[in-house]
Amino acid sequence: MICINKSKLPKTGKERTNAPYRGLTTAQAEASRRAHGSNRLTERKRAGFWRHFVSNLNDPVIRILLIALGLHLLLMFRRADWVETIGIAASVLLATLISTVSQLGSESAFARLQAEGSSVRCRVQRDGEVCELSREDIVVGDVVLLGAGEHIPADGMIFEGELTLDQAALTGESREVSKRAGGDDVGEPGDEVSLYRGCAVLGGAGKMVVRQVGDATVLGGISQEVQEETRESPLKLRLSKLAGQISVLGYVAAILVAVAFLFHAFVIDSGFRSEIIRMKLYDVPYLLDTLLNALMLGLTVVVVAVPEGLPMMVAVVLSANMRRMVRDHVLVRKPAGIEAAGSMDILFTDKTGTLTDGLLSVSRYLTGDGATHTSLDELERAGDSRFERYLLSAHHAVGATIGTRQQRNARKRGKTDAPTDMHCAVGGNATDRALLTSVLGCTVPSARVVARLPFDSARKYAATTLETENGEITVIVGAPELLLPYTATYLDGAAQLRPLDRAAFSNRLRQYATEGERVVLMAVSDGKADMAALAAGRLGGMSLLCALTLSDRLRPEVAQAVKNLHGAGVQVVMITGDSPDTAERIARACGILNRQTDIVLTGSELAALSDHQLKQMLARIAVVARALPTDKSRLVRVSQELDRVVGMTGDGINDAPALRRADIGFAMGSGAAVAQEAGDILILDDNLASIVKAVLYGRTIFKSIRKFITLQLTMNFCAVGVSMIGPFIGVNAPVTVVQMLWINLIMDTLGGLAFAGEAPLVSYLSERPKRRDEPILCRYMVNEILFLGGYTVGLCVLFLKHPTICNRFRTTPEDLCHLTAFFALFIFASVFNCFNARTDRLRPLSGLAQNRAFLAIMAAVLIDQIAFVYLGGSVLRTMPLTAGELGLTALLALSVLPVEKLRGLLWRMRGRQERY
């Protein structure tokens, strides 16, 4: 957790902040470095590429594939089959490589912290002179000079001057903070003295003394947290369980098949005569050859039972959906994060920049006659051209200038070389930018700035004298409680002076302030203003233009996004540094706070709760106001202890630990680079609606994986069943080892590609999230596998032995024509079962238009199969079939479609709601 160790801080208070600091000598700096360490963040030893690669070979599914690969090597020496062996090896290599590269990328958050730190230079007072040093050379006790555009190099306090800071990277809140010498010092980001590493200086000048460096800083604590190990993703946990289930099933099936083969070889072939059985047992060459054949058949069943295409399919489906998600403003950094998003059942989200625009904007205008207007256009229509000119001139008399949106975002990240984009207000303070933004695109009256008095936190107002076509006017913009006592009149719509009812007007302004909005008064000076007097804080008479309320507006699509998340079973919790009243107002407006049982907590109330109490209340928490950086990490940890799948949004450096610790971290596209590196998914438009899309894609991916596994296990069940029954019905090898391997190869690869293109359906958002430990194999899948697999086994037995079917095929040596048709039947049944597994709806072609690649891939499988029927020869034990023979085989295989729909109908009639 991120914490500030106040016991290690120097004594605080006004006396301490006024103490003289003259900086260190070189010798004192070296002594301080030995005592307190350097300003470099400690890097934990990280595993290299090969260590990660070897570790990933221990993945449960990969382990099964390695066993299958070893068995294939044994089969290869006996059967000379190398195609499937190379396929499994390639699947293992590719899946392990993708996982390794993903892990290495996730560890780059700390490297980004270090890279950014080493490039920063600071002005430091050493040996009585001001010199420029690398940030890493700063030590405790150093005096650092700060000015606009610079960054705080270490934790400390200001003891001279006054600064305006952007602490968004640390606190996540976009509002500007003033720091001044002699202010209150409580050792927290919100006080007037404390300065923290990584924060940007927006304005002013001052000096700070360094209190803590390196790992002892707040940022240092964050750097340690982003290097901590995280728990397994839901997908990896589920695949581990699936690997264990498949292993058991494969080994049991292999033993049964081997025993069935031996029983047939020694008992049935001997006509159940004991003397012949004994004779075979004493015939050592025959015994060894039979045992070896049984072993090879069992090993083949194990190989067939393992869906070696699963890792490849998972990689393909993740990659395909990653490309689609970029079009929806979602950039995936860690592939496993996509599926985790679909299982998410609680989301902790920032307010600023995610639920709101992240920028102050003018929400309403209040004129002296008590009228309220929601836009400048509406206000202009209510007045005449003279009032309009006054108002536009006043808006443009602020400290901001017209720039571009990318320049504004670059300024938030401390960059100055951003490319151009759409026009917006840059520079000045947040109020200046909001006022200027509200009039962008309007025709500006010709005016020249004669004198300008910038905003000052002590004065609480700004003033600008403009020379217009009607003479000079002085516009004053500032705090209502300061300006209103000097405002006796107001300008009406005709630009005529009217007496102002200050008491009534003041009450209206207080009402808006209690709703969490910032209120600014805009007035013009009566007569020629004295800038020197205004600079000294001496105000004179003035006339009201209007009052403006500024707020960080709720994004228009957020309310629907919250509704969609609630409908998807995701609890949404807003975490903000705002006051409880403001936080509650925003939460109600967007629907986060919509139940009578929902509660709003403050950071201090949260800290007073034990973990046990917090776990009991977690399901009812909707808002955490006045939150500290440590609150996010704690909420993630407690939620995970309840085995919930946790999502977290964040954009600041302080969010990086929580983003990394969460099961799915959503980093904002306009946020700090460290937060982006720590997150799993990057939301390019900083929009909650894009997170809804990530949830939808995650659920689609999990369903695609389940569909593929259903197909694989259905056909594996069929292959094992036929292999077991074959010897008992007089067919020793209905499907050869090479044919089994060919079926596996074509259906594992092309089948996986077909399911990778499944489109996300909005109906998935009406389902409840899957539990983190919910197995991939659900009851619906098991029912389909057993029912459809059993039917396919029965169909295969009828095909092999029923006279009506057998007589439809030509009589050939070793019944080659019939067995070729059986091989084609198996492939055709696999293709049609792809259609069955693709949807759990009663219409097999439902939604197929949104996955056109599926039809193309299935057509390719059929073409390949027909080609190998005619060209396979002795390798695949095939011969050319006539059109009638091929048509009959395909028609019989087609029967799996109505049978599966009948099963689905029976499932629904029994009242079962479970699906993929």
Q: Are strands 681-683 and 664-668 parallel, antiparallel or unpaired?
A: parallel
Give the helix ranges, DSSP H, for 555-651. Answer: 558-567, 580-590, 603-608, 611-617, 629-641
Rounded to the nearest 5°, which phi and psi values hold at 547? -110, 145
Average pLDDT, the chain: 78
What is the residue-wise DSSP string for 166-213? E-HHHHS--SEEEEETT----SSTTSSSEE-TTPEEEEEEEEEEEEE-
Range of lowest pLDDT (388-392, 455-459, 487-491, 531-535): 388-392
**pLDDT(108) > 60:** no
Give this prediction's pTM.
0.74
For residues 317-345, average pLDDT:
82
**pLDDT(598) > 70:** yes
Confidence of residue 418 (pLDDT cuts 50, 70, 90): very low
pLDDT of amino acid 396? 59
CA 105 centroid distance within chain:
15
**pLDDT(379) > 80:** no
pLDDT of amino acid 8? 38
Range of lowest pLDDT (110-114, 454-458, 870-874): 110-114
Q: Are strands 599-602 and 621-625 parallel, antiparallel or unpaired?
A: parallel
**pLDDT(338) > 50:** yes
**pLDDT(592) > 70:** yes
Residue 59: closest CA among 91, 107, 106: 91
Residues in Cβ contact with 307 at an 8 Å cutoff, skipping those fewer than 6 apart: 246, 708, 709, 712, 713, 716, 748
On whether the CB atoms of residues 342 and 233 are closer than 8 A, the answer is: no
pLDDT of amino acid 389? 65
**Among positive and negative, which fits the CA dihedral 841, 847, 853, 855?**
positive
pLDDT of amino acid 243? 73
In terms of average pLDDT, the best of 19-23, 224-228, 306-310 is 19-23
pLDDT of amino acid 471? 76
pLDDT of amino acid 907? 85
Rounded to the nearest 5°, which phi and psi values hold at 318? -65, -45
pLDDT of amino acid 457? 66
Report the distance separating Cα 686 and Cα 352, nearest Å: 10
Report pLDDT digits (tens) over 443-462: 666 677 788 887 776 778 88
pLDDT of amino acid 409? 43
pLDDT of amino acid 59? 64
Confidence of residue 412 (pLDDT cuts 50, 70, 90): very low
